[in-house]
Amino acid sequence: MAQATFHFPSGFLWGTATASHQVEGFNQNNQWWAWEQQPGRIVNGDKSGPACDWWGGRWREDLDRACESGQNAHRFSIEWSRIQPLPDKWDETALDHYREMVRWLQQHNMTPMVTLHHFSDPLWLAEKGGWENEAVVDQFATYTRKVVEALKEYTNLWVTINEPNVYTVLAYISGAFPPGKQDLGAAMRVYTNMVRAHAAAYHAIHEIQPTARVGIAQHMRGFFPAHSWSPFDRLAAGFLHYVFNSVYSEALVSGVVRYPGRSVRVPNAKGTQDFIGINYYTQETITFNFLNPTGVLNQHQFPAGAEVAESKLIANVAEGMFYWLKWANKFGLPIIIAENGIDGFQDGPRVRYLIQHVHQVWRAVNFNFPVKGYFFWSLVDNFEWERGWNQRFGLWELDLETMRRRKRPSADLYAEICRENGLSSEMVARYAPDLFARMFPN
């Protein structure tokens, strides 16, 4: 039997990722809590409720598990509505809570990666127009300064905004996120304001902390023509790739937000990334439908033969990870995989997904792409936005009735990867023997 280990560079970050509203519980002062109370908004009528009870203190036991399993980093987000519950009020106790978390991570030799905005907004901000209102740019910069001043002693790795493309599309085009709009003009305003807000936050962070590493976490979703011979499929796939994957990332390079048929200059956004943050889950094939050409956002399938998650929302297409790391390499900046994972109550697909995607990350490192870290989504099952508790991403299973955590086999696998700083043939043989011959041919 072939034997080998795919090792990673010394100092590579191995972690998991979480987000405040999804794990803290009882975030009653943000737009998501209000959204959950409206009938029909969340699958099965689910509510976040206590979530994973991190605000109640159970973050310690979950991060203890992460530390004990060899993880040397953790990505989490700050809940803006807790820090600034009213426009003219700051909650120092909430800041102390997050300060305690980053101090704990530092004391346990785990690198904190702190996200300032992960989908949730204070109610007062939403009531003033949220991200449609250009005033949000200065408001976000002020909030950023407050957080960075409080936590700068313990971390210098920051994500300003998580998945601005997903937030914009789901909140202002499909209507699945609050405020539930289907308004292309509003979406463009939001996208532009998110570019402006990121730029303002980037410069604010570097004024306070010159050595900071600042970026965004961009959701990269592969769109490929279902029929390479079809110019219509190619056109549809190219359009989706541009509007979903390219507009925001290109704006941070050029200082220009380029929409189809329109451009907006944001000069201070030029060069405002110290690393490229990538969230990758899956890719799709696109077929242009002549009977419904305007429905291109809904005309997609997963590649033939790909293993599909229980939710039918993610397929295991590991080669897409290498594709996006190659894409990111062109920027000449360090690369961090800020999220990667697959959902399921059954763990087998998660094990196979993890092995195959880590292998693709190793391939990229072997090509000398400057990949510096990998954060698996997620540490523990959490509240998955409009999907409620219907999607389970955790290495640890959460029992909603008892709050007890149960370790999945994928948690043991990931612990071995973290401790080894690599993926070995022996791990593959034990956890996913069906993949062995493909990954380690004689």
In tens, the pLDDT along 342-353 reads: 999 999 999 999
With 80 as the cut, is the pLDDT of residue 188 above it? yes
Q: How far apart are CA 385 and CA 391, in angstroms?
A: 9
Residue located via tokens 């769109």: 223
- Distance in angstroms (rounded) separating the CA atoms of residues 257 and 98: 33
pLDDT digits (tens, 9 = 90+) for 215-230: 999 999 999 998 899 9
Cis peptide before 81 (omega within 30 of 0): no
Confidence check: pLDDT of 233 > 70 = yes
Q: Give the pLDDT confidence of 118-128 residue by residue, as tens digits.
A: 999 999 999 99
Say if residue 302's pLDDT is above 90: yes
Residue 277 scores a pLDDT above 70? yes
Buried b (16+ CB within 10 A) or exposed e, 365-396: beeebbbbbbbbbbbbbbbbbbbbbebbbbbb
Question: What's the rounded Cα separation, in Å, for the pair 120 and 136?
Answer: 13
Distances (CA, A) of 394 to 32, 48, 83, 87, 314: 21, 16, 27, 35, 15
Contact 369, 328 (CB under 8 A): yes
Kindly calculate the radius of gyration of the chain based on its CA atoms and give it in whole angstroms. Answer: 21
Asked whether residue 194 carries a pLDDT value surpassing 70, the answer given is: yes
Confidence of residue 308 (pLDDT cuts 50, 70, 90): very high
Categorize the per-residue pLDDT at 294 as very low, low, confident or very high, splitting at 50, 70 and 90.
low
Contact 124, 139 (CB under 8 A): no
- Mean pLDDT computed over 284-297: 71
Those residues with Cβ within 8 angstroms of residue 72's Cβ, 6 or more apart along the chain or in another chain: 13, 14, 15, 109, 110, 111, 418
Q: How far apart are CA 111 and CA 156, in angstroms?
A: 9
Cα–Cα distance, 293 to 176 (Å, whole number) = 21
How much is the pLDDT for 288?
83
Q: Copy the structure tokens of residue 132.
A: 């449609």
Looking at residue 303, the DSSP 8-state letter turns out to be: P
Give start and end residues of each alpha helix (H) in 152-244. 164-172, 184-208, 231-240
In the CATH scheme, what architecture does the domain 5-439 have? Alpha-Beta Barrel (3.20)
For residue 117, is pLDDT > 80?
Answer: yes
Please say whether the beta carbons of 14 and 374 come within 8 A. yes
pLDDT bracket for residue 441 (50, 70, 90): confident
3-44 per-position pLDDT tens digit: 899 999 999 999 999 999 999 999 999 999 999 999 999 999
Give me the pLDDT at residue 293, please: 57
pLDDT at 289: 76
Question: Which phi and psi angles does 180 have, rounded to 5°?
Answer: 75, 35
Query: Does residue 295 surpass a pLDDT of 60?
Result: no
Mean pLDDT, range 94-118, rounded to an integer: 98
CA dist., res. 411 & res. 385, Å (int): 23
Determine the residue type at 263: S
With 80 as the cut, is the pLDDT of residue 292 above it? no
**Strands 300-301 and 276-286, sheet pairing:** antiparallel
Residue type, 62: D
Please state the pTM of the whole predicted model.
0.97
Cβ atoms within 10 Å of 253's Cβ, excluding its own: 15
Q: Which helix H or strand E contains 63, and what residues bound it?
A: helix 59-68
CA angle, residues 224, 359, 333, in degrees to nearest 5: 70
> What pLDDT score does 264 carry?
97
pLDDT in tens, 355-411: 999 999 999 999 999 999 999 999 999 999 999 999 999 999 999 999 999 999 999
Average pLDDT in the chain: 96
Average the pLDDT over each of 69-73, 176-180, 297-301 and give the range with the smallest value: 297-301
What's the confidence (pLDDT) of residue 291? 57
CB distance 365 to 415 below 8 Å:
no
The C-alpha angle with vertex 280 and arms to 279 and 286, in degrees rounded to 5, equals: 130
Peptide bond between residue 112 and the one before it cis (omega within 30 degrees of 0): no
